[in-house]
Amino acid sequence: MSDGLRGAASDLRAEADSLDAKDELAAKRKEFALDDTVYLDGNSLGALPAHVPARLAEVMTHEWGKLRIRSWDESGWWTAPERIGDRIAPLVGAAPGQIVVGDSTSVNVFKALVAAVRMARGGNPADPGHSDEGRDEIVVDATTFPTDGYIAQSAARLTGCRLIPVAPADVPGVVGARTAAVLLNHADYRTGRLHDLPGLTATIKAAGALAVWDLCHTAGALPVGLDAHGVDLAVGCTYKYLNGGPGSPAYIYVREGLQDRFDSPLPGWNSHAEPFGMRPEFEAADGALRGRVGTPDILSMLALEAALDVWDGVRVDTVRAKSLALTDFFLRCVETYVPEGRVESLTPAAHAERGSQVALRCDGAGEVMKRLVEQGVVGDFRAPDVLRFGFTPLYVSFADAERAARVLARTLA
Amino acid sequence: MSDGLRGAASDLRAEADSLDAKDELAAKRKEFALDDTVYLDGNSLGALPAHVPARLAEVMTHEWGKLRIRSWDESGWWTAPERIGDRIAPLVGAAPGQIVVGDSTSVNVFKALVAAVRMARGGNPADPGHSDEGRDEIVVDATTFPTDGYIAQSAARLTGCRLIPVAPADVPGVVGARTAAVLLNHADYRTGRLHDLPGLTATIKAAGALAVWDLCHTAGALPVGLDAHGVDLAVGCTYKYLNGGPGSPAYIYVREGLQDRFDSPLPGWNSHAEPFGMRPEFEAADGALRGRVGTPDILSMLALEAALDVWDGVRVDTVRAKSLALTDFFLRCVETYVPEGRVESLTPAAHAERGSQVALRCDGAGEVMKRLVEQGVVGDFRAPDVLRFGFTPLYVSFADAERAARVLARTLA
């Protein structure tokens, strides 16, 4: 390291310390099980909130072990999907009663898209015969996390639609009278680019189609504003910025005004108006419950519920402000430390277009990430040449960001 | 209690003690967290295997808490669905490589039925255009647990089929050239009646249709023989006789000979041939992996994996022999203790037609079950008038059966 660079590093470390000292979320870090690893992979798997194991031990030994079957009622297991949905609601700008938790993101994409097509065609669960087959196109983000595209293809095939993959920016040019639904990611999983949810939602709705958003990479990282922007349907996972644990259940949001027309392709007994009536004919429950399907996965679900406690007293605006400050600072550190031309940021510089991760294009990215992990800096690699660094404002510090950039520079030197 | 009845009770208690002393599964009871409750609801939620909380604590604190994202590879999280499927396989008479665990039973019924219709029509994932639309009927058990019927209705609607609900005994009379698939329960959830899986499977296949079995009420209670009887597809939950925990993930079996034609309606990234290739086009993985969808629910899944340890060294034939002995003995105790006419068994007397539960029709069954639970005898109530008592041979004793009948008689006196 040259003398000049050494000086710059000293300055950046001092700046990191100063930023951490002023960080109003700094105390949150203590609520997570963390060590001296710089963990920048919370955009893939959030860190463990420290109190979750004790809560889950109680669920296992007391609720399952002692009360057993009685817990479905006495321990509130049965109502967990909607209760936890209401805990997630304020984090994504939704009033209560519009989100249920359960199943994987993929399965929720399927429910949302098939239901969206049915609603766009004017379908009504009370009158399944009626439909406007004129709307026969599903538009999907061509840069989407692949599972959304695969499921969209299946939803299109089963509803007799054509699938139209386009870049999010090109959506306004393709939506029209034939569009039934549009499935978009709020943030690109690879580049970290944030898409224009308010503008695109308005465009899609103006065309008479339904807007379905995948919030996997934004919920818990920045304000989403589902209600405010009139989003029709949304889905998301809970194991990234919501720290629910590996493969924790996903959720589905159905805007209140659409709920009585939400006609699920997965009408399991948990979405029945009278689940214990054991009636042979399906009759959909009222409200967001229509998004439920089968018996909820209680251990994973209650681990998630406990994990959401870390949000008590946290404002999403504060999280967003820190997220932008962290990614700005990390990019400056990278620019200062890493020799020119070795990495290129794929993440937009404009705040309005940036999620909560930084993606760097880098030759030999797979091998570079392995060496970073060996040195205690954990991000991840996405083929063919991307280093991803996720910034979770609840537990990542400015010192972490500086150290990550420094270790990256050393690795590339 | 009359003197005569008192003498009979004394005899039955002595017989229970003698049967328990000879029970080669008796030692298994110690592997579960049980108290002095007579727990006869393992056909709804299996008891807690005592070692599960310690294993899950390790998963949370070490695998999630310390290794974090590395556990997908280093702790074997990614391969859990097929690894645990292979643990379940011998319990249902399946060779390895045909079962994956994940999602709810309802979601698996959906995958199985839609894929079955596609296969019955001669469809091939490599050539989705080809199909024999002549097969346009799905036959479903009219006495099924309701969710199977609701999902079958949805699968029929999405594949352009007509749904034909019939009693399992009437299936031979309705299957024919128009039948695409038949969905049946191996045991009736309400009456405990065991259906003729080998005979019905042969009949269905002879008609050129696919046989789909729901094993929720038999897996872990009696031999199923999936491979031996040529079953095409099967699904089941893991929280009843497999003791996986509340809402633990379900499984799907796809017979080896059908796997290359299994065309899932839920093709998530976990069923892709190259999941981390992040390719926009779906290409199905080989084998049972095609039954996977999204990110597996690791906490619930690894609790299930640990729970399956109780099967080490247990033969399903032994379990079946004890199950029949338990239900025989319980029925004799009920007949002896309960005043004539107060209850009527809905469960067939013939062993070949009996699952592992006893269902008694009883006036005021809901209130009766409440009073039984208050007295430490836990079964459950199914509307309108059924008392259900499930017998899990791994932890229910003959003394339990005798006591349950005695408390029932006292309650009805």
Rounded CA separation B145/B217 (Å): 10
CB contact under 8 A, A297 and B297: yes
Whether B288 and B341 share a structural domain: no
Mean pLDDT score across all residues of chain A: 95
Rounded CA separation A152/B144 (Å): 31
Residue A1 burial (CB count, 10 A): 13
Q: What is the mean pLDDT of residues B203-215?
A: 97
Q: What is the mean pLDDT of residues A92-116?
A: 98
CB contact under 8 A, A294 and B106: yes
Whether A98 and A180 share a structural domain: yes
pLDDT of residue A130: 47
Whether A290 and A246 share a structural domain: yes
* Domain end (from A294, A311, A328): A311
Rounded CA separation B79/A344 (Å): 34
pLDDT of residue B168: 96
Specify whether B145 is catalytic: yes
Q: Above pLDDT 70, what percent of chain A?
A: 97
| Residues A52-99: tens digit of each pLDDT | 999 999 999 999 999 999 999 999 999 999 999 999 999 999 999 999
Q: B138 and B119 in contact (C-beta within 8 Å)? A: no
Tell me, what CATH number does B212's domain have? 3.40.640.10
pLDDT of residue B131: 54
Rounded CA separation B218/B276 (Å): 37
Q: CB within 8 A of A282, min separation 6: which ones?
A: A267, A272, B146, B149, B150, B153
pTM, entire model = 0.96
Q: Above pLDDT 70, what percent of chain B?
A: 97
Residue B130 — very low, low, confident or very high, per pLDDT cuts 50/70/90?
Answer: very low
Q: How many domains does chain A have?
A: 2
| Residues B328-358: tens digit of each pLDDT | 999 999 999 999 999 999 999 999 999 999 9
Q: Which residues of A touch B153 (CB under 8 A)?
A: 267, 282
pLDDT of residue A372: 98
Provide the residue count of chain B: 413
User: Could you say which of A239, A329, A330, A381 is catalytic?
Assistant: A239
pLDDT of residue A320: 98
Q: With a cut of 90, say whether residue B144 has pLDDT above it.
A: no
Whether B237 and B382 share a structural domain: no
Q: What is the mean pLDDT of residues A115-134?
A: 72
Domain that holds residue B272: 54-311
User: Å from B155 to nearest chain A CA?
Assistant: 8
| Residues B60-114: tens digit of each pLDDT | 999 999 999 999 999 999 999 999 999 999 999 999 999 999 999 999 999 999 9
Q: With a cut of 60, say whether residue B124 has pLDDT above it.
A: no
Q: A121 and A135 in contact (C-beta within 8 Å)? A: yes
* Domain end (from A260, A290, A311): A311
Q: Chain B within 8 Å of A390 (Cβ-Cβ)?
A: no
Q: What is the mean pLDDT of residues B139-152?
A: 92
Count Cα atoms within 13 angstroms, Cβ side, for B74.
10
Tell me, what CATH number does B11's domain have? 3.90.1150.10
Closest chain A residue to B49, measured at CA: A65
Residue A110 domain-assigned? yes
Q: Which residues of A touch B128 (CB under 8 A)?
A: 157
Q: With a cut of 70, say whether residue A131 has pLDDT above it.
A: no
Q: What is the mean pLDDT of residues A161-182?
A: 97
* Domain end (from A242, A276, A311): A311
Q: What is the mean pLDDT of residues B21-29?
A: 97
Q: Please choose, from the candidates A144, A85, A16, A38, the residue with its C-alpha nearest in 3D space to the C-alpha of residue A304.
A: A85
Q: What is the mean pLDDT of residues B210-223?
A: 98
| Residues A274-328: tens digit of each pLDDT | 998 888 899 999 999 999 999 999 999 999 999 999 999 999 999 999 999 999 9
Whether B26 and B167 share a structural domain: no
